[in-house]
Chains A and B, each alone.
Chain A
Amino acid sequence: NAGVMQNPRHLVRRRGQEARLRCSPVKGHSHVYWYRQLPEEGLKFMVYLQKENIIDESGMPKERFSAEFPKEGPSILRIQQVVRGDSAAYFCASSPGVQTNTGELFFGEGSRLTVL
């Protein structure tokens, strides 16, 4: 009865490297969301995906950041040429359908990216 699984839990990168964060949603959930959280801050929406489709990427920086949710396999958030300001916790959440009816998302434990 696995919930949302994220890996790696902790990732250290040097400036200019790439970071890849993976998220496996709750079994049967086809909607995935990525959020970013800085210390003492709220969760900032980045992107919403359904299988093979990006539905809303309005919260994601236009450059260096990309996300995908392929037909098979986990969703991936990719950050190219990382900078120190990318250091944050990145949370993935999933839902079985559109969450506007229930307001409920299922979150993973997050991936903590540190950029040196």
Chain B
Amino acid sequence: GQSLEQPSEVTAVEGAIVQINCTYQTSGFYGLSWYQQHDGGAPTFLSYNGLDGLEETGRFSSFLSRSDSYGYLLLQELQMKDSASYFCAGVNQAGTALIFGKGTTLSVSS
């Protein structure tokens, strides 16, 4: 089957750097996406890695290693507003839809 595993919770302080890891098992691979969700609201797209390496978008970066079936989301210069749930996602076996990990709750304190 297909699955994506990520830690359930991460805590950090303002200004710090935090890394959220994601390991996956899929029979076919189309890339790894990351989404942010605040308080059960609309999940919003953060980044996508189709190839190995690092993608940077402002304070957020995402990394993928296909040989290790592993990726991570790196958040720098943490702010209180970054407190949210973060989900990694990959395409299902049929290639038709994204399947999501269970999410990592990030709590940023002052």
Asked if A100 contacts B42 (CB within 8 A), the reply is no
Q: How many residues does chain B have at the interface if contact means C-beta atoms less than 8 Å apart? A: 26
Q: Is A25 an interface residue (CB 8 A)?
A: no
A1 and B102 CA atoms in complex are apart in Å by 31
CB distance from B52 to the nearest CB of A (A): 15
Across the interface, B42 reaches (CB within 8 A) one of A45, A48, A102, A109, namely: A109
Determine if A104 is an interface residue (Cβ-Cβ < 8 Å). yes
Interface SS of A by simple majority: mixed
18 A-B pairs with CB atoms under 8 Å apart are: A35-B100, A37-B40, A42-B101, A45-B97, A45-B99, A45-B100, A48-B97, A58-B94, A99-B98, A103-B30, A103-B31, A103-B98, A105-B43, A106-B45, A107-B42, A109-B41, A109-B42, A110-B41
Listed in ascending order, the chain B residues whose CB lies under 8 Å from chain A are 30-33, 40-45, 48, 50, 87, 89, 91-92, 94-103
